[in-house]
Structure 1
């Protein structure tokens, strides 16, 4: 991986704000422009009541003090248009000024939405890219421990929640604060005492919102976790629908999903009950604030403490504050949901990625492979899978590995490919004279072709699946590999041949066809080491023999490891290793193992009797 990528995926985020700031790279400029435009929107909206005040007091009512409470910039504008007498005769000019400021506010609003949309999409693009990149570098064990459905939910629903919070709620919070500051400035200019009546409710709403914030946060966390479980249940059933149908488990899985959905629904009902209480009480407080200001303001106007124009302007400013103050409380409560989502994303971003040693190197893979006293357990209190296993695979030879279920056959290959790292003090695996821990993981995997027990095919054409490792999808190379895998004739029998579209996870192919496609995937890249992990189990014996002949002819200088339960698959290997309960029970060529009259001979007799 390049240096920039390596620094990115290895970075630890100690706080939520640090993670958010990291995601904002590339969109901060547009968000800053949005803040500036928010100021413009607010200013142009809030200047209109001042124009109305001037019109009522100095053009309609003839208040003696000419514009004493009018801002200097507005007075300069009005003086430039004409004197008081002129404006009195052409009062429509004041209406045009209100329309002008409304137009300027609309232009700012349009630019704000454009900048905010651009920033939001840039933000979510970076979040998805960085999350996907990080997940691709996480360890095999991490993926085994975390449900795919939950990971998807974190990368979709939680990402959208964070985007909505930053692009809408957080910017709304900024706009609300700007609006409150400017409106309170104008209101204090009109009457300080009346402004206190208006302002005293703001801290009450904020404090009240923070109390609910803590309560809602816990509920949101439970709901998000439950949604992850629900997504995992749906994902498992959709990908395993054939198994569900084959075993007639539709009703069981339906009830299981409904139970999970019932719990998730009840959590949201509880959340909405809390939010309903919060919103309704918030509205009640805001309504009391409006009523108090309107009544006290009217009393002040009657007593002559403020003019009619000032009263109209003050009530207008107070009305402009009512919704923002209510929204302020709601945004504070919504912050709890965003906080939970950011924390769930931070869990992924802070998970340990695979790391090479600083001096990791690339070595020739055409060398002997040595397993030296290898012991391994998957952790979490599980039993030891491998116990002091030692053997050698000579370069350019074919080695067979035989053993019962759970004997550690596949684990050996996972360790060789560094899908799991061998813990310190548990032996070592050598390529020539080099410990695989000192070899770059990317180099190791590029040169070890691994066909897994359960092949995974992408929703692409057969040609694209087979040539997945090729830079240019060379159809000749693809066909050559398919012929060795005894797949060419089968593909040609399909209506669209190599352009046949493979359904999700290869659902349109049989088990044997999927295995042969996976074998062709490895053959097309021609790695110096090939591992076939029970990858012929779903094909018949005749096809098995045909594939082995093809492998023998096309991999004469390649190190081949065959893992199988079938003796006929392994009997022609140069060397055979028999595992029993995580230990090497026997090893040697086929004929030699038969003479030992051990485990291998017993399995051979049982299988040959069947034949």
Structure 2
């Protein structure tokens, strides 16, 4: 019942096309029943010697072309009538295919758009558990399965039902005995089809999920190919993929075996059914209870009737597969998302930020931030230092509303963050991630992502601040250079600098560097810091870093340890206090004294994250 409701819901906006398609199917079915009637008439009246009485619509139609003597001499007229009927049937089938294809393509397009839109607004933590390969499969393979059902099988269900009704009507009008003989095994075939439908759905679900697992593994391997090569884990990854591939193959075998068993048994029952009609019909013909033409007509109708009933199990199987795919699609569409939230307010963002008694946890009972209180004034540069897992990035995730805080208050210019529209706050925050993402577009297009209205001069200026302008110009196509997937043809430092330029172009009042200078050398780091210092106070800047030289010039330095603020102050204040900051500073300076070459120290030592 749930699957039927989903199928009905998906047809919204395309039901007129399906009605037209069903009408075309009905017309094609009605026309297809005329050919056996013409053949019966030809055998019994023209070739045979049965009396011809014009007492029904069909005989009146045939009698229009002349009497027996005329038609026996012009028997080709019967052939032309059959050809015309075949052409008409083909025309109606064409219209059915055209309209159902148009409707199914519209449905698939709408589903893909809804899924893509939903994934754009899904809560951030949804992606921590979701597998990209599986999501891709749901947006492609599952949508295609639903589309195929709408294109081919949905109308066939209507054809089958109508065909049975019309065939029985014709057959009963000719011979009740033959009709009963023609229907002996039909109930058994239908019951077997329903049983097959229920059994196959579980196999379809298992196969679909196994394919999703295989797709997810393939996507993960392709994404991490450099790591795989670096650790020489190709064989291990091949074994992992082979295991998933083998499981998928076995399930497909199971699926095909189930389908083959069903079809062979239905074929066997269908052949027996035709045999019953042939033997019993021959017996009645010899006895003179029915004519030879009637026997031929019954055999024709029996084959016409058995084909859709025989395929009914396969239609039900495809319908079951479509139901499984539809439910997998609905799992995404029914997820809570930011899109479903009421729009918040959109105040002017100047850059004053206040954290008051903030508590936050990803997993219940395991606090990541514990009673954080911090005031950041407009235009200040605040640096955050701490070991991995101390809560640095979590603080940024709360500010960008990727997650909601458990308790406490975060205010932007005296407005509670929870009341501000998520899209609005993100439009007013530029963030440079530690692992920046580049699209497979030109460098210029990647920069335009930040601000599509920016000028080329502003692009060059931002690139110069990020010290990437000269590097870009060294490429043969300059800013028109097309990047590989995820910017694979750029080094880690180049991607970070390009990401910095992109963030600057956004011109947001709040700028966040989430450990985004870790991949650049110290000389470049110094140049970037100098350029940023020249535009100081244009934006409130938050810097997360492990390199002491990167954060030393900040107006305020905050030290986190296990989700708590343990130190806060300027560089001069903190190195004169006993604590984590001074200890890290002394360790890096001791390492520096042990190395004679400044460049080696800066590149190899200052990049080292010191556990606190």
Assess same fold via TM > 0.5.
yes
**Is 1:503 matched with 2:503?**
no
- What is the aligned counterpart of 1:56 among 36, 43, 46? 43
Match of 1:142 in 2: 126
Match of 2:359 in 1: 375
Distance in 1 of aligned mates of 2:365 and 2:459? 42
Where does 1:357-376 land on structure 2 (aligned, <5 Å)?
358=342, 360-376=344-360
Give 3-state SS (helix, strand or coil) of 1:486's partner.
Answer: coil
**Is 1:167 matched with 2:151?**
yes
Where does 1:283-294 land on structure 2 (aligned, <5 Å)?
283-294=267-278
- What is the aligned counterpart of 2:531 among 550, 563, 570? 550
Q: Which moved more, 1:254-263 or 1:365-374?
A: 365-374
Distance in 2 of aligned mates of 1:62 and 1:556? 107
Give 3-state SS (helix, strand or coil) of 1:378's partner.
Answer: strand
What per-residue deviation string (whole Å, max 9, x for no partner) do you get for residues 342-380 of structure 1? 11111001000115764620012104211111111112x
2:54, 2:63 within 8 Å by CA — same for their partners in 1? no
RMSD over equivalenced CA pairs, Å: 1.7
What per-residue deviation string (whole Å, max 9, x for no partner) do you get for residues 459-478 of structure 1? 11111111113234632222
Match of 1:451 in 2: 432
CA gap 1:235/1:382 in 2 versus in 1, 3 angstroms: farther
2:454, 2:505 within 8 Å by CA — same for their partners in 1? no
Number of aligned residue pairs: 592
Match of 2:85 in 1: 101
Unpaired runs of at least 5, structure 2: 593-612
**Is 1:31 matched with 2:18?**
yes
Match of 2:249 in 1: 265
Match of 2:596 in 1: none
Match of 1:463 in 2: 444
Match of 1:581 in 2: 562
1:356, 1:439 within 8 Å by CA — same for their partners in 2? no
The CA deviation at 1:555 is 4.7
TM-score, normalised to structure 2, is: 0.93
The CA deviation at 1:514 is 0.8
1:356, 1:440 within 8 Å by CA — same for their partners in 2? no
Q: Which moved more, 1:530-539 or 1:25-34?
A: 25-34
Match of 1:532 in 2: 513
TM-score, normalised to structure 1, is: 0.94
Match of 1:11 in 2: none
CA gap 1:470/1:385 in 2 versus in 1, 3 angstroms: same
Unpaired runs of at least 5, structure 1: 1-13
- What is the aligned counterpart of 2:504 among 523, 535, 558? 523
2:382, 2:543 within 8 Å by CA — same for their partners in 1? yes
Q: Which moved more, 1:232-241 or 1:196-205?
A: 196-205
Give 3-state SS (helix, strand or coil) of 1:361's partner.
Answer: coil
Q: Which moved more, 1:497-506 or 1:348-357?
A: 348-357
What per-residue deviation string (whole Å, max 9, x for no partner) do you get for residues 425-458 of structure 1? x222111221111111110100011111211111
1:446, 1:527 within 8 Å by CA — same for their partners in 2? yes
Distance in 2 of aligned mates of 1:575 and 1:364? 24
Where does 1:101-140 land on structure 2 (aligned, <5 Å)?
101-140=85-124
Distance in 1 of aligned mates of 2:3 and 2:140? 18
CA gap 1:193/1:555 in 2 versus in 1, 3 angstroms: farther
**Is 1:560 matched with 2:541?**
yes
Match of 2:599 in 1: none
Distance in 2 of aligned mates of 1:564 and 1:610? 18
Q: Which moved more, 1:587-596 or 1:174-183?
A: 174-183
